[in-house]
Structure formats: structure tokens, C-alpha cells
Amino acid sequence: MPVVRHPQELVSPDPALECPRIGGVWGGPASSAFPFDLPGPHPVPRLPCPLPPPRPTHDIVRARASSQRTSTRHRVLSQDHRPMTSDRRLFARTLAAVLLLGSSLGACSSDKPAYVERPVEALYNEAVDKLNTGRYEEASKAFDEVERQHPYSVWATKAQIMSAYALYEKGTYDDAAVALNRFIDLHPGNRDIAYAYYLRGLCYYEQISDVRRDQQITRQAMTYLGDVVTRFPETSYARDARLKIDLARDHLAGKEMSVGRYYLKKYQYLAALNRFSMVVNNYDQTTHVAEALYRLVEINTILGLPDEAKRIAAVLGHNFPGSDWYRDAYALVAGRQPDQGGQDDSSWYDALTGWL
């Protein structure tokens, strides 16, 4: 069934670049107070005699020391403004950095194309032309421009889901899923909401990898496609979603079969039995059930449980009577080597004969 693709999502315009505000607390001039008191010069002692006393040698030394302390104090006081000079130097460097940053931001903003307001019809038609010519990235940006310039137009809503569709066609499924989630949150009653749910499920379905890898993305695809079937069961999107859910479930069963075969080759029979039993119980509508039943017959035969092996072989014959898996299982419980069709898969049989 062809996938119905209904071309629409927009990313909000880039915020305007702002110059960072540079702030700071500028320190004032250094305080003129000192943590200690400088002593003044000592007075010259005078003797109680009418004659002028001679100046002793120690007084002269003391006076010289006092004058040296005074000059030292003036020298320290003259250095009070040096921290202010350092602050001014720091201010000059900071101002230069701000100017440099502003110029670089101005250069970055000048690289962006100038804003030119255009009619909504011209913008939308230009985006559609880019989409039709395969320029999906340009088309997505053009649809975003429709919403940016005319956010209250009916074409803005259409442009949102069209932008998501362009991202899906480009192969950027994660970005498309983000855009579709935004559309679903903003416009839950839009007439294209069913398509938005369906396209979101496809974004995950397209990322399903082989069975040797982790299958978390497969489970997410089943969840989102299940939303389409639950919410819009009568639409063509729901019919296609059901088909893809069945394929995804078959893929998960293939993952369990791959792990079970690995355990079986490593002779870890209980671990392999659990994997094959999971396929039979949880994925009974997939194409892997016949092989899973046959592998259970193998393991039970190896473990020495012939009655359980016959019971499972009977279930296999009832559901798949004409399959090769049933013929091999019948030969196995009858004590004969199954026909491998030329395939080199006799390791299990060697293990069986060695066990018996």
C-alpha cells in the first residue's frame, strides 16, 4: 500500500544575539590608615643648668633614626594611589575585552541574512518549490520562515507540519520527530493531526536496525504507530500502521530467535529454551513460531525429556503440518537424523548423540 504523505513544522526563529553585560565592583583608593602608629622624633633633653648642654652622641643617632622613620612614612603614604593605578589598568583591559566581544558579536549577526518581510503566499510557494525539487533542508527552513513572519496565518500551521515532512524526507528523523511532537502539542484538534501521529511513528520505524542490535527503537515505533491505530482507527494511516506494527513485532521475535540460537551453539540449553519459549508465548503470530517450536523439541531431546519433546512436536505438527520444521522434528523424536538440506547445522545433533 503506498504511503500517503501529506506535506507540514517550524522551529522558532533564532533568538537575537545579545551582548553580555559586563559588571563588577570597582574598588576605591587604598585607605590612608595604617595598622600601626609611626613614632615621632624624640625631644632633646635639657639639663638643669644655665649653660646650654652639649648634644650627646646617642641623641644625634636617635634624631637621625626619627628623621628616617618620618621619611619612610611619607614614602609609604605616597604609594597609597598605586592600587588605584592597578584598578584603572584592570578597567582598561576589561573595557577592551567588552569592545572586542561586541565587535565579534556584531560580525556574527551581520553574517545572517537581512530580514525582508514578504507575503505569506510567496514564502509558502517558494518552500513548496524547494520541497518538490528535493532541496529538503532549504525547504524546511523556508517553511519555518513562513511561521516566523506570519505566525497567526493559517499557512503558519500548515508550514509546521510541512517543515517536519521535509526533515523526514531529508532523513533527519530525530529532528522531524521533535517538530511533530511540537505540532501535536500545539494543535491537537487540527485536521492533519492524524497524519502528524502517523509521520511521527514512521520517524521511528525508519530507524529500525537489524536483529543483532538493540531493539529499543523498534519498541518505540510500535508504541507510536499504536497511537495511530487507537486514536484514528478508520483512517488509511491506521491500516498502514497495523501492517508496520506486525512487521515490527516479527522483528522483535527475530531478535529473540537470534539470541536463542547463540545460546544453543554455546550449549547453554536452559538460556536458549527461555528465549524460544518467549517467542512461542509472546510472539505467536509471527513467522518465527515454527522454528521456535522445533528448537524446543531439540533442547528437550538433548536434556533427556522425550515426552516433552513429543508433546511440543505434536503442537508443531498441528499448527504447521507441511513445514520442513515439522518433518525435522518428527525425524528427531523418531530417533533419526533430520534432513538439513545440505546446511552445516549438525552441531546440535552431535551434542545429542554425545549426550545419549
pLDDT of residue 114: 66
Alpha-carbon gap, residue 141 to 9, rounded angstroms: 10
Round the average pLDDT of the chain to a whole number and report it. Answer: 75
DSSP state for residue 50 in the 8-state scheme: S
The verdict on 331 and 245 lying in the same domain is no
Q: What angle do CA 351, 354, 356 make, to 5 degrees?
A: 110
The verdict on 129 and 240 lying in the same domain is yes
Among 193, 223, 251, where does a domain finish?
Answer: 251
Alpha-carbon gap, residue 238 to 23, rounded angstroms: 59
Q: Confirm if 355 and 302 have CB atoms less than 8 A apart.
A: yes
In sequence order, what are the residues at sequence separation of 6 or more whose Cβ sits closer than 8 angstroms to the Cβ of residue 6? 161, 165, 192, 195
Phi-psi region of 150 (alpha: psi -120 to 50; beta: other; left: phi over 0): beta
Considering the domain boundaries, does residue 35 fall inside one? no
Share of the chain above pLDDT 90, in %: 53
The verdict on 128 and 185 lying in the same domain is yes
Among 192, 226, 251, where does a domain finish?
Answer: 251
The number of folded domains in the chain is 2
Query: What proportions of the chain, in percent to the nearest 5, are helix, strand and coil?
Result: 65, 0, 35
Rounded CA Rg of the chain: 43
Considering the domain boundaries, does residue 227 fall inside one? yes
Could you tell me the end-to-end alpha-carbon distance of the chain, in angstroms, rounded to an integer? Answer: 52
The verdict on 134 and 244 lying in the same domain is yes
pLDDT of residue 259: 95
Considering the domain boundaries, does residue 41 fall inside one? no
Considering the domain boundaries, does residue 166 fall inside one? yes
> Burial level of 66, CB count in 10 A (0-12/13-18/19+)?
middle
pLDDT of residue 118: 79
Is the pLDDT score of 244 beyond 70?
Answer: yes
Helices (H), ranges, 206-235: 216-231
pLDDT of residue 215: 92
Query: C-alpha cell of 166?
Result: 521535509
35 — pLDDT class (breaks 50, 70, 90) = very low
The verdict on 241 and 276 lying in the same domain is no
The verdict on 285 and 263 lying in the same domain is yes
Q: How many angstroms separate the most distant Cα atoms in the chain?
A: 149
Alpha-carbon gap, residue 333 to 301, rounded angstroms: 8
Is the pLDDT score of 19 beyond 60?
Answer: no
Q: What is the CATH number of the domain that holds 270?
A: 1.25.40
The verdict on 187 and 264 lying in the same domain is no
Closest CA to 347 of 268, 271, 267: 267
Phi-psi region of 145 (alpha: psi -120 to 50; beta: other; left: phi over 0): alpha
pLDDT of residue 113: 59
Among the listed ranges 70-74, 198-202, 253-257, which one has the minimum average pLDDT value?
70-74
Per-residue model confidence as pLDDT tens digits over 269-314: 999 999 999 999 999 999 999 999 999 999 999 999 999 999 999 9
Question: Which residue range forms the structural domain that includes residue 301?
Answer: 256-355
Query: C-alpha cell of 107?
Result: 560580525
**Count of Cβ atoms closer than 10 Å to residue 353 Cβ:** 10
In sequence order, what are the residues at sequence separation of 6 or more whose Cβ sits closer than 8 angstroms to the Cβ of residue 306? 300, 333
The verdict on 137 and 179 lying in the same domain is yes
Closest CA to 159 of 200, 195, 197, 123: 123
Alpha-carbon gap, residue 329 to 339, rounded angstroms: 10
Q: Confirm if 131 and 101 have CB atoms less than 8 A apart.
A: no
The verdict on 131 and 244 lying in the same domain is yes
Share of the chain above pLDDT 70, in %: 63
Per-residue model confidence as pLDDT tens digits over 141-186: 999 999 998 988 889 999 999 999 999 999 999 999 999 999 999 9
Alpha-carbon gap, residue 199 to 220, rounded angstroms: 13
The verdict on 180 and 263 lying in the same domain is no
How far out from the chain centre does Cα 148 lie?
26
Considering the domain boundaries, does residue 90 fall inside one? no
Considering the domain boundaries, does residue 174 fall inside one? yes
Considering the domain boundaries, does residue 34 fall inside one? no
pLDDT of residue 230: 96
pLDDT of residue 119: 85
Q: What is the CATH number of the domain that holds 203?
A: 1.25.40.10
The verdict on 186 and 297 lying in the same domain is no
The verdict on 246 and 268 lying in the same domain is no
Among 190, 224, 251, where does a domain finish?
Answer: 251
Considering the domain boundaries, does residue 89 fall inside one? no
pLDDT of residue 3: 42
Alpha-carbon gap, residue 306 to 128, rounded angstroms: 67
Task: Specify the amino acid at residue 37.
Answer: D
Task: Specify the amino acid at residue 232.
Answer: F
pLDDT of residue 5: 41
